[in-house]
Structure formats: C-alpha cells, structure tokens
Amino acid sequence: MSRIEQVLQTLKGQGRKALIPYITAGDPHPDKTVELMHTLVAAGADIIELGVPFSDPMADGPVIALACERALAHNTSLRQVIAMVKEFRKDDGRTPVVLMGYLNPMEAMGYEAFADAAADAGIDGVLTVDLPPEEAEDVAPLFAARNLDPIFLLAPTTTDERIRAISEHSSGYVYYVSFKGVTGAAKIDVDEVAAKVGHIHELTALPVGVGFGIRDAETAAAVGRVSDGVIVGSVLVDTIARNQADTDQLKRALTDLLHPMREALDSLAS
C-alpha cells in the first residue's frame, strides 16, 4: 500500500476528508519551497501537490502560469523539484507528495531516470496533465515497479466508459476537475459536483479528490461533503504572489487561509 493510500484509508476510517493543497515548486524562490511545504502540513495538509514549473501550462489559468514564470526565472528544473522533496523528507516521512505537471520535462529527463529519482526522493504520486492513460504505456510499468501512484484527471464531460478506463490505470486517487476551463477560472457549482462525484463513485472504488474553485472554508466544506478530498491551488498560489517579499508574512497568510479549511473539513467528520 502506498503512502497516499495509507493516508486516505486512515482518513476514511476517521470519517474525515483529505485537504490537498497545491503550490508551484520554486515560487517565489527555490530556497523557500521546502519551508512552505512544511507550513502547509502544519496548517492541516494531508497530501501536498507540488507543481513542476513549465513554460506552457495549458491547463492552468494566469495565477499558476505566473507562478511558473516566477519559478522559471530562478531556473527551477525538474531535478531541483525532486531534490526539494528529498530535502522535505528529512523532516517529514508521513505526508504524501504528488508531483503535478506536464510531460515535456519528464520526457527530457528520461522516464526511467525520472522514476528512479522520484522514488529515491520519496515522491508518492505523479499527475501529468497532458499524458492520458492510454499513452502511458512507457511510464506505467516504471511507476508501478517503484510504488509511484499514477493520478489522472476526470472532467465534467468524461464519459462513463472513459471514467472506468482511467480508473483502471490510476491508483491513489482520481482528480475530478469541477468545471470546464482552466484553473482559477470560475465559481464552483456544488450541486453539479455532488451529482458527478456520486456518479464517479458508482464507477470506481478509488477516492475522488475535487479541484478547481476551492477558495475558502465554505467552499472546502461544501465540496468535502460530497467528495473524499478537496484540492486547493490557485488561491494559495495567489497568496504566495501577494506576499512573496516577506517569508514570515507569507507563511502566516498561507496558514490563515488553509487552517480554516482544515477546521471546516473536520467539522464534517461522522
């Protein structure tokens, strides 16, 4: 059982929902990423999604695209991101870390070299936005051999047949994108999400995390009621952008945003 599966199983047994924050590695500076990861955990994160900066983040809105620009301005590479996780693991061997990004950096590094380095660093899962499962034949065996969970996206338009197919190739959890569009682009429709997530649960035994549109404790609780976890990205990345000049203030701002979400999710515990 992977670290992701262990954490999600424990939470389920407690009647609790996963809080999964996303930040972009190297933003606002590579030297700050590990410190910010620990801040997220202290504020209540169960799993961390760590974005690998990329020059053409096609699924992301302007907030995360600008974060990628800031990280790339400091020459943040995939190898550096992996090294950040290895550094994080010196003090935290419990919190799962999922790398989220695009295929090109992984392809440039080499699939096997990436899988070896990721496993050695203590990375637990990989979500590659532009790698559909039917095109993952080269990487899937490498990930499986190293206990790396491949995580794939589901959309509001995903058909039942495709939900089943994606789930068969996934482990850890599946990531349901709550609306059509890019990150940070719209207000979430909780009733619509509830209906879709309920239907996804009928088609897969995997936990379902919901991302896109989670902005505060209220939306976290609303989505937490109908899912296994909430994924929080753009609002955190925007907080980093607005507080990047002062690290202490940045850490307080992230905590002030994330901790109420943790409390709101825990209030749902049955």
Which residues are designated catalytic? 49, 60
**Measured distance CA(262)–CA(47) in Å, rounded:** 12
The backbone torsions φ and ψ at residue 115, rounded to the nearest 5 degrees and listed phi first, read -60, -40
**Measured distance CA(17)–CA(266) in Å, rounded:** 7
Give the single-character DSSP code of 134.
G
The backbone torsions φ and ψ at residue 67, rounded to the nearest 5 degrees and listed phi first, read -65, -40
Helices vs. strands in the chain: H and E counts, helices first: 12, 9
What value, to the nearest 5°, has the Cα angle with vertex 99 and ends 98 and 105?
A: 165
Question: Count of residues for the chain?
Answer: 270
C-alpha pair distances (Å), 213 with each of 106, 148, 269: 28, 27, 22
79: its two tokens: 């190898």
Instruction: Write down the residue that tokens 């050695």 correspond to.
Output: 120
54, 236, 131, 199: CA torsion to nearest 10: -170
Q: Which residues pair with residue 141 across a beta bridge? A: none
Q: Which residues pair with residue 209 across a beta bridge? A: 175, 229
